[in-house]
A and B are shown apart, each in its own frame.
Chain A
């Protein structure tokens, strides 16, 4: 058996770290194998990736014990440049790995470095630009492409180096659902076709698990589970506890197993449908009347005060791109609203009108009875807090305390008032112990909380959170959503932009779906996610569990279940009734 990658009992401590980032890692990857590594943030996954192309120990210094052999060559005894012929790395953030002025040059960059003959390079560029479906974009600046296209470009640029092994570090975590679907499928297809070896670090288990051979789960720098995907499925509840997000059908099976004997655990929606139809079919007589799916229950509409009113809103950017086309939307006091849609559908453009960062090209936006085109951003910021996707764009002070005080100082509050607000927000968001720390020295989760706290001190009634879950693991995403829920319970209106359908389904009271600058549909999560065909138009899919419930309607399961727990309880209830 050929093993292009062998990691033997490796422990690594970064120069600036006290604890080892990874401990006693043993890993052998067969030629042609697709291996998935998952685990919560800080588990050491990225460190493992860096070991494999020599970034550790050549670029990141520290104490390396054990041995890493790439095609039998010790990474300590060679250079990153030489290893790059064998192992290629693709990183999480597409923007920071694109280094050339055009797509064509980007793809050529690697082979040029390796001294490949120019004619051959041109051929590889032509070929691979097509493979990743960027034909026609050769002369574009890679940074002007969408997130999914950028990652496709980065992908083409490593394929063109013709490595034996692809190492992908969360290649889709910055992408929207369609972008990540495309990238993942492309990768697997390519690896299989060309008989390459692939190691992929991902959080998206639902999409990727059915495609890979082997799974490794890491936690706190160690490998805690390892084996063939199907053999590990029984451990999904442990994975969930670790803050991971196993397929919802698998989770459901694992929960049901305590009540009903199950032969095997499903991995995909199709397997789930088959299994649960059998489970229910054995126990429930299919009633004729149930065959028609129930219409989703109509939930009482919010009738609080109308605080944000959007009337026939159009927005055209200076470059001439029309981002919004005639949006009409009313948001009531105390709502929990999710805005979903692909990149470029106009989500961020829409919410930037709520605090005046953007002004309508045509139409009108009223916030607390104030026409936003006549109000300043700072005036509106007292009412509407807007948390940016990347918290680092918001941090600009030397200490967390100053960070929290920055907004209220700008608004001209008294010193006592500001101190009270800072203490209050710090308490609420668990930042009391880090008030005198530098914001940039905190972890990403903490920085996100500082960013939100720095808005809360301004006392807004409405909080807009822009893609809080992008690039975060499931546990951190849930933490932020739980925080939003807590603020919502205190009477705040919450508006969340997200790509995560499961979170939108689980947390929000109302969902607005945007497509090409228009509202495609809106309503309660149940109403929206029952419109499978409408959602398909913008390549969004309801959560897996919702799709499962829709297929089990004939067994008397109320269709359009939103969470695994809800589905689980309903199935138990149904079976007990019979």
Chain B
């Protein structure tokens, strides 16, 4: 499941969900500020791994997650090395070889460094989101969003939606089994044919069952007083900022500030070209 919460009692679990949302935002800001410098981003990636370890999230889950996204990651990396978005910036790139000789699709040191940085960025964002979801029950995140100003109607809609994901999966499994029991096949080799079979036959019963269910849910929610007075609605779970929460926010702000100063908009310490230059020097050392 994509929204799997693993209960635990570490400091990180106990942090206010708003801090965890802030952690997402801070990390996204940080990876954008740090350019695609693989060294700096490598450091950030290590910090994310440290947090995962600190939260005692079973490593097997993270490995399984990375396996799950590996194909997308490889495609992303290939795309970045073949078509670096900032290709024009590569002044006199150090080319290893050309994929199509003599001079098309170069594989260069510059692009390789850029690719590693981009891949780290990609991994950091996905891991941060994944780890936060494992650390925080979804309802707390929704509540945090509501506290940040999301209308309570959306909050209820979101948590109801998520609560129904397993129900819908189960319903669709039953529909598929019922179709199979009537001699229906969907396991075509041809993906177009397979998609067509799934869509055409599963569509009607799925739509019917979700439509009826949506009506039932609306009735259930109304009957439980949802329309009473939304502005007066209270929440059983109260969110309270503790000292640890303030401290965590402080650390996050500081890290983002350092990222800004170090990045290409600041002192350019963290800049992928620096890394390229260092490696290039080292590679050309013999040539001198």
Contacts and interface: CB of A to CB of B under 8 A. Distances in A.
B179 A99 contact: no
B224 A109 contact: yes
B227 A411 contact: no
A368 interface: no
Contacts of A117: 234
Interface stretch (A8-16, A83-91, A187-195, A555-563): A83-91
A82 interface: yes
Contacts of A93: 216
Contacts of B226: 81, 113
B220 interface: yes
Interface stretch (B13-21, B24-32, B201-209): B201-209
A139 B5 CA distance: 11
A143 to B, nearest CB: 5
Contacts of B177: 352, 357, 388
Interface stretch (A303-311, A390-398, A508-516): A390-398
B206 to A, nearest CB: 9
Given A357-B177, A410-B184, A125 B228 contact: no
A388 B174 contact: yes
Interface stretch (B45-53, B110-118, B162-170, B275-283): B162-170
Interface string A104-132: 11001111111111100110010000000
Find the residue from B213, B228, B235 having the highest chain A CB count within 10 A.
B228
B223 interface: yes
B204 A385 contact: no
A36 B97 CA distance: 84
Contact of A381 (B182, B219, B223): B182
Interface in B172-224: 174-175, 177-185, 201-205, 208-209, 212-213, 216-224
B287 to A, nearest CB: 59
B139 interface: yes
Contacts of B236: 104-105, 108, 111-112, 118, 121-122, 125
Contact of B216 (A88, A91, A141, A144): A91
A398 to B, nearest CB: 8
B8 interface: no
B108 interface: no
Nearest to A395: B205
Nearest to A102: B139
B138 interface: yes
Contacts of A118: 234-238
Nearest to A377: B180
Nearest to B227: A81
A406 B137 CA distance: 44
Interface string A348-377: 000010010100000000000000000001
B233 interface: yes
Which interface class (under 10, 10 to 19, 20 to 34, 35 or more) fits A? Answer: 35 or more
A393 B163 contact: no
A84 B182 CA distance: 45
A407 B182 contact: yes
A101 interface: yes
A377 B160 CA distance: 35
B184 A81 contact: no
Interface string B237-259: 11000000000000000000000
Which interface class (under 10, 10 to 19, 20 to 34, 35 or more) fits B? Answer: 35 or more
Contact of A393 (B156, B178, B225): B178
A115 B230 CA distance: 9
A104 B217 CA distance: 18
A431 interface: no
Given A91-B220, A139-B7, A143-B163, A112 B180 contact: no
B204 A396 contact: yes
Given A112-B235, A396-B179, A406-B182, A101 B137 contact: yes
Given A388-B174, A393-B175, A396-B204, A381 B137 contact: no
Nearest to A105: B139
Contact of A110 (B7, B183, B184, B224): B224
Nearest to A352: B177
A421 to B, nearest CB: 13
B103 interface: no
B81 to A, nearest CB: 38
Contacts of B139: 100-102, 105
A454 B234 contact: no
B163 A99 contact: yes
A93 B183 CA distance: 30
B166 A393 contact: no
B92 interface: no
Nearest to A117: B234
A355 B203 CA distance: 24
Interface string A67-90: 000000000000111101100110
A84 B223 CA distance: 6
Nearest to A85: B225
Contacts of A158: 224
A393 B228 contact: no
Contacts of B232: 115
Contacts of A569: none
A440 interface: yes
A403 B160 CA distance: 33
A101 B233 contact: no
Interface string A42-83: 000000000001010011000000000000000000011110
A42 to B, nearest CB: 18
Nearest to B226: A113
Contacts of A102: 137, 139
A357 B180 contact: yes
Nearest to A88: B223
A156 interface: no
B152 to A, nearest CB: 9
Given A357-B177, A378-B183, A386-B181, A143 B219 contact: no
A99 B217 contact: yes
Given A115-B228, A410-B183, A99 B223 contact: no
A95 interface: yes
A11 B176 CA distance: 42
A396 B234 contact: no
Contacts of A113: 224-226, 228, 233
Contacts of B219: 55, 59, 91
Contact of B182 (A82, A97, A125, A455): A455
Given A98-B163, A396-B201, A458-B182, A112 B234 contact: yes
8 contacts: A53-B223, A55-B222, A88-B223, A89-B223, A100-B160, A111-B234, A388-B177, A454-B182
Given A81-B227, A393-B174, 9 more contacts: A101-B137, A105-B159, A112-B233, A125-B236, A388-B177, A393-B209, A395-B208, A396-B179, A396-B202
Interface of A: 53, 55, 58-59, 79-82, 84-85, 88-89, 91, 93, 95-102, 104-105, 108-118, 121-122, 125, 139, 141-144, 157-158, 161, 352, 355, 357, 377-378, 381-382, 385-386, 388, 390, 392-398, 406-407, 410-411, 440, 454-455, 458
Interface of B: 7, 137-139, 156, 159-160, 162-164, 166-167, 171, 174-175, 177-185, 201-205, 208-209, 212-213, 216-229, 232-238
Q: Which 7 A-B pairs have the closest CB atoms?
A: A81-B228, A410-B183, A96-B216, A81-B227, A84-B225, A115-B232, A97-B220
